[in-house]
A and B are shown apart, each in its own frame.
Chain A
Amino acid sequence: MTAPATARAASGPSAPRERRPILEIRDLVVDYGYGEDRVHALRGVNLTLHEGEVLGLAGESGCGKSTLVYAATRLLAPPGYISAGEVLFHPEGGGAPIDVLRQDEKSLRAARWQDTAIVFQGAMNSLNPVYRIGRQLTDTIAAHRPEMTRPEREERARELLSMVGIAPNRIGSFPHQLSGGMRQRVMIAMALALEPRVLIMDEPTTALDVVMQRQILEQIMELRDRLGFSVVFITHDVSLLIEIADRIAIMYAGEIVEDAPAQDVYRRPRHPYSDGLLHSFPPLRGPRRELAGIPGSPPDLAHLPSGCPFRDRCAFAWDACAAVPPRLVPPAVPDDAEGRLVACLRHDEQAVRYAGFEPLPVPDRLAL
Chain B
Amino acid sequence: MSNVPLDVIPVDAAGAAEAAEVDAVVPSRKRFVFLRGAKAITGMVIIGVFTLVAIVGPWIAPYDPDEMTADLLVKPSWHHLMGTDHLGRDVFSQLVVGTRGVIVVGLVAGVIATVLAIAVGVSAGFLGGVGDEVLSSLSNIFLVIPALPLIIIICSQLSEAGNFVVALVLAFTGWAWGARLLRAQTLSLRRRDFIEAARASGEKTWRIVWFETLPNLTAIIASSFISTVTFAVLSQTTLAFIGVTSVSDWSWGSILYWAQGNQALARGAWWWFVPAGLLIALLGMALSLVNFGIDEFVNPRLRLAGLSPREMRRRKIRPRIGFTVVAQDAPRAVARPAVVPVTGPAEPADESLPAAAGPRRGDGPTGFEPPSALRRAASAAPGAPAGPGASAGTSDHEESAR
Instruction: Evaluate whether A21 and B338 lie within 8 angstroms (CB atoms) in the complex, with A86-B332, A350-B345 already known.
Output: yes
Instruction: Evaluate whether A48 and B338 lie within 8 angstroms (CB atoms) in the complex, with A84-B331, A306-B385, A319-B390 already known.
Output: yes
Instruction: Evaluate whether A318 and B395 lie within 8 angstroms (CB atoms) in the complex, with A79-B304, A83-B364, A355-B382 already known.
Output: yes
Q: A304 to B366: give the CA distance in the assembly, Å.
A: 20
B2: A residues at CB distance < 8 A = 279, 289-290, 292, 365
Q: A48-B339, A319-B386, A349-B345 are in contact. List 5 more A-B contacts (CB 8 A).
A: A46-B333, A74-B322, A78-B319, A85-B330, A322-B385
Instruction: Evaluate whether A79 and B382 lie within 8 angstroms (CB atoms) in the complex, with A44-B372, A311-B15, A354-B353 already known.
Output: no
A282 contacts chain B at the CB level, 8 A cutoff: no
A306 adjacent to B18 (CB under 8 Å): yes
A314: B residues at CB distance < 8 A = 10
Q: A32 to B402: give the CA distance in the assembly, Å.
A: 41
B15: A residues at CB distance < 8 A = 305-306, 311-312, 322
A307: B residues at CB distance < 8 A = 375, 378-379, 385
Which chain A residues have a beta carbon within 8 Å of chain B's beta carbons? 21, 24-27, 29, 31-38, 40, 43-44, 46-48, 70-71, 74-86, 99, 101-102, 105, 108, 279, 289-290, 292-293, 295-296, 300, 303-307, 311-320, 322-325, 327-330, 332, 339, 341, 347-351, 354-357, 360, 363-365
A35 adjacent to B305 (CB under 8 Å): yes
Within 8 A of A (CB), among B1-50: 1-4, 6-7, 9-12, 14-15, 18-19, 22, 25-26
**SS class of chain B's interface: helix, strand, loop or mixed?**
loop
B130: A residues at CB distance < 8 A = none
B364: A residues at CB distance < 8 A = 29, 83-84
B304 adjacent to A32 (CB under 8 Å): yes
A315 adjacent to B398 (CB under 8 Å): yes
B149 contacts chain A at the CB level, 8 A cutoff: no
B211: A residues at CB distance < 8 A = none
Kindly provide the distance from the CB of B19 to the nearest chain A CB, expressed in whole angstroms: 7
B327: A residues at CB distance < 8 A = 81-84
A33 adjacent to B368 (CB under 8 Å): no
A46 adjacent to B339 (CB under 8 Å): yes
B141: A residues at CB distance < 8 A = none
B345 adjacent to A323 (CB under 8 Å): no
Q: Rank and list the top 3 A-B pairs by shortest CB-CB distance, nearest first.
A: A35-B306, A319-B386, A26-B333
B319 adjacent to A315 (CB under 8 Å): no
Instruction: Evaluate whether A37 and B306 lie within 8 angstroms (CB atoms) in the complex, with A101-B326, A325-B371 already known.
Output: yes
Which stretch from B150-158, B202-210, B246-254, B354-362 is at the chain A interface? B354-362
A348: B residues at CB distance < 8 A = 345
**B18 nearest CB neighbor, chain A only:** A305
B324 adjacent to A82 (CB under 8 Å): yes
B200: A residues at CB distance < 8 A = none
B340 adjacent to A328 (CB under 8 Å): yes
B332 adjacent to A290 (CB under 8 Å): no
18 pairs across A/B with beta carbons < 8 Å?
A: A29-B364, A33-B306, A34-B325, A48-B339, A78-B319, A99-B332, A105-B323, A279-B2, A296-B9, A303-B25, A306-B18, A307-B379, A307-B385, A327-B357, A327-B360, A329-B345, A341-B340, A365-B401
Instruction: Evaluate whether A24 and B362 lie within 8 angstroms (CB atoms) in the complex, with A43-B371, A311-B15 already known.
Output: no
B367 contacts chain A at the CB level, 8 A cutoff: yes
Kindly provide the distance from the CB of A249 to the nearest chain B CB, expressed in whole angstroms: 12
A356 adjacent to B321 (CB under 8 Å): no
B70 contacts chain A at the CB level, 8 A cutoff: no
Instruction: Evaluate whether A350 and B343 lie within 8 angstroms (CB atoms) in the complex, with A34-B317, A312-B9 already known.
Output: yes
Kindly provide the distance from the CB of B26 to the nearest chain A CB, expressed in whole angstroms: 8
A33 adjacent to B304 (CB under 8 Å): yes
**B350 nearest CB neighbor, chain A only:** A354
B315 contacts chain A at the CB level, 8 A cutoff: yes
B391: A residues at CB distance < 8 A = 318-319
Q: Which of B324, B333, B378, B386 contacts A71 (CB 8 A)?
A: B324
B301 contacts chain A at the CB level, 8 A cutoff: yes
B370 contacts chain A at the CB level, 8 A cutoff: yes
A315 adjacent to B353 (CB under 8 Å): no
B349 contacts chain A at the CB level, 8 A cutoff: yes
A-facing mask of B48-65, CB < 8 A → 1, else 0?
000000000000000000
Q: How many residues of B contact A (CB 8 A)?
A: 86
A363 adjacent to B12 (CB under 8 Å): no
Q: Which residue among A25, A325, A351 has the maximum number of chain B CB atoms within 10 Å of its CB?
A: A325
B127 contacts chain A at the CB level, 8 A cutoff: no
A33: B residues at CB distance < 8 A = 304-307
A46 adjacent to B338 (CB under 8 Å): yes
Q: A325 to B398: give the CA distance in the assembly, Å.
A: 21
Q: A29 to B369: give the CA distance in the assembly, Å.
A: 11
B374: A residues at CB distance < 8 A = 306
Q: A139 to B312: give the CA distance in the assembly, Å.
A: 35
**A314 nearest CB neighbor, chain B only:** B10
**B360 nearest CB neighbor, chain A only:** A44
Q: A31 to B325: give the CA distance in the assembly, Å.
A: 10
B320 contacts chain A at the CB level, 8 A cutoff: yes
Q: A305 to B21: give the CA distance in the assembly, Å.
A: 11
A75: B residues at CB distance < 8 A = 322, 324
**B319 nearest CB neighbor, chain A only:** A78
B376: A residues at CB distance < 8 A = 325
Q: Which residue among B325, B356, B376 has the maximum number of chain A CB atoms within 10 Å of its CB?
A: B325
B394 adjacent to A319 (CB under 8 Å): yes
Kindly provide the distance from the CB of A230 to the nearest chain B CB, expressed in whole angstroms: 15
Q: A153 to B18: give the CA distance in the assembly, Å.
A: 61
A27 adjacent to B305 (CB under 8 Å): no
B324 adjacent to A350 (CB under 8 Å): no
B319 adjacent to A79 (CB under 8 Å): yes
Q: Which of B9, B333, B383 contacts A86 (CB 8 A)?
A: B333
Kindly provide the distance from the CB of A368 to the nearest chain B CB, expressed in whole angstroms: 10
Kindly provide the distance from the CB of B314 to the nearest chain A CB, expressed in whole angstroms: 11
Q: A110 to B4: give the CA distance in the assembly, Å.
A: 53
B80 contacts chain A at the CB level, 8 A cutoff: no
B381: A residues at CB distance < 8 A = 323
A315 adjacent to B306 (CB under 8 Å): no
Q: A77 to B300: give the CA distance in the assembly, Å.
A: 14
B190 contacts chain A at the CB level, 8 A cutoff: no
Instruction: Evaluate whether A29 and B379 lie within 8 angstroms (CB atoms) in the complex, with A77-B321, A303-B22 already known.
Output: no
